Amino acid sequence: MSGSQLPQRALGPFAVSAIGLGCMNLSHAYGVPPSPEAAEALLLKALDLGVTHFDTAALYGFGANETLVGKVLGRHRSRFTLASKCGMTGVDGKRAIDGRPATLKRTCEEALGRLQTEVIDLYYLHRLDRQVPVEDSIGALADLVREGKIRAIGLSEVSADTLRRAHAVHPVAAVQTEYSLWTRNAEIAVLDACRELGVVFVAFAPLARGFLAGALHDPADVDALDARDLRRAMPRFQGANFAANLRLLEEYAAIAEELGCTPAQLALAWLLAKGEHILPIPGTTRIDHLEENLGAAGVALGADSVARLDALINQRTVAGVRYNAAAQADIDTEEF
């Protein structure tokens, strides 16, 4: 699908491609990142194909991903909507959550330099700092809006209650949370709260960390992952849980074949069919996968197909929780 054919959806005050690009994979969390040359080629190809929503964060590569995005896309800044995040960064080589106003403002200044831009279109509080009232964190971001350093405010991995508290301080443009067929936590309350408040929902990990794209076919594939790949610590990819989850893929792949699309495209088309206020941001390090993902914009799912998928893969049929205890402690999202 060419760029001119990519449908558009609202992202706060912006109109963006219905499928965006999550840039984390290029620097962070999935083992050895691609070479700088390969990462540059992928970013430029995404832009050429009509992607106008690029999502990064201070955390990714502890600044390296923002630097990459700025270096490669900075000269094309007028052609896309730029999203980044603060409130979770690398400190002394470790991930740290810090939502204090002064920290958020300093992180923004650093991000503007790395991203080679004068303004960030959408700036998220990456995680709720339980030691800092969300009203204080959002107040700092509201100051950045008034100063012209960011254009809109977002929240990541928050509950409906936290969203409402934040929205009362300053309008929230977007909430970003993991959402896919196998991670349905957003359906408890946040999706409805977003719809009610006019907030866009940005779905990260829409391909279930590659599982719904068929990237991992058997336990040996998990064993072969790089030691730094975050999936190694995720319960759904471990032992009996993973064996049980693999059994879901046969019927899932059959549905994709029946509909004339790939499994990855089916996962993204399901999200697009769930609501006009939902924007998936799949990540990838490969141009062929990028092209495949964008092709999902041309897959229209009927109500019957959506219902079949809902019944096949959901919180009751998937084995294992999505995060281990340490990672779970960092998020504010509702749990089943």
Nearest to 305 by CA among 181, 128, 142: 181
Q: What pTM value is reported for the model? A: 0.96
What average pLDDT does range 216-238 have in this prediction? Answer: 92
> Which residues are designated catalytic?
60
Quickly tell me which residue has 């959901």 as its tokens. 314
Residue 221 lies in a domain: no
Contact in structure between 255 and 264 (CB atoms under 8 Å): no
What is the Cα Rg of the chain in Å? 19
Element spanning 175, H or E: strand 174-178
Nearest to 182 by CA among 299, 320, 283, 275: 320
Q: Which domain holds residue 71?
A: 3-212+274-299
DSSP H helices, 81-124, are 101-115
Residue 255 lies in a domain: no
Question: Over pLDDT 90: what percentage of the chain?
Answer: 93
Residue 150 confidence (pLDDT): 98
Residue 217 confidence (pLDDT): 87
> Strands 88-91, 174-178: parallel, antiparallel or unpaired by DSSP?
unpaired
Residue 267 lies in a domain: no
Contact in structure between 86 and 58 (CB atoms under 8 Å): yes
What average pLDDT does range 266-279 have in this prediction? Answer: 97
Q: How confident is the model at residue 1 (pLDDT cuts 50, 70, 90)?
A: very low
Residue 248 lies in a domain: no
Whole-angstrom distance, CA of residue 243 vs CA of residue 214: 14
Question: Over pLDDT 70: what percentage of the chain?
Answer: 99
Residue 88 lies in a domain: yes
Across the chain, mean pLDDT equals: 96
Distance of CA 63 to the CA centre of its chain: 17
Whole-angstrom distance, CA of residue 54 vs CA of residue 31: 21
Residue 5 confidence (pLDDT): 72
Please state the φ and ψ torsions of residue 109, each to the nearest 5 degrees: -60, -45
Residue 2 confidence (pLDDT): 42
Contact in structure between 241 and 321 (CB atoms under 8 Å): no
Which residues, in sequence order, are bridge partners of residue 177? 203
> Strands 14-17, 21-22: parallel, antiparallel or unpaired by DSSP?
unpaired
Residue 30 lies in a domain: yes
Residue 317 lies in a domain: no
Question: Which residues 6+ apart lie within 8 Å of 116 measured at CB?
Answer: 70, 71, 74, 77
What's the Cα-to-Cα distance from 158 to each of 95, 127, 206, rounded to whole Å? 18, 7, 17
Residues 72-121 pLDDT 10s: 999 999 999 999 999 999 888 889 999 999 999 999 999 999 999 999 99
Residue 3 confidence (pLDDT): 44
Whole-angstrom distance, CA of residue 103 vs CA of residue 134: 14
Residue 51 confidence (pLDDT): 98
Residues 9-35 pLDDT 10s: 999 999 999 999 999 999 988 888 999
Q: How many domains does the chain have?
A: 1
Residue 224 lies in a domain: no
**pLDDT above 80 (res 4):** no
Whole-angstrom distance, CA of residue 88 vs CA of residue 192: 26
Assign residue 117 the CATH number of its domain. 3.20.20.100
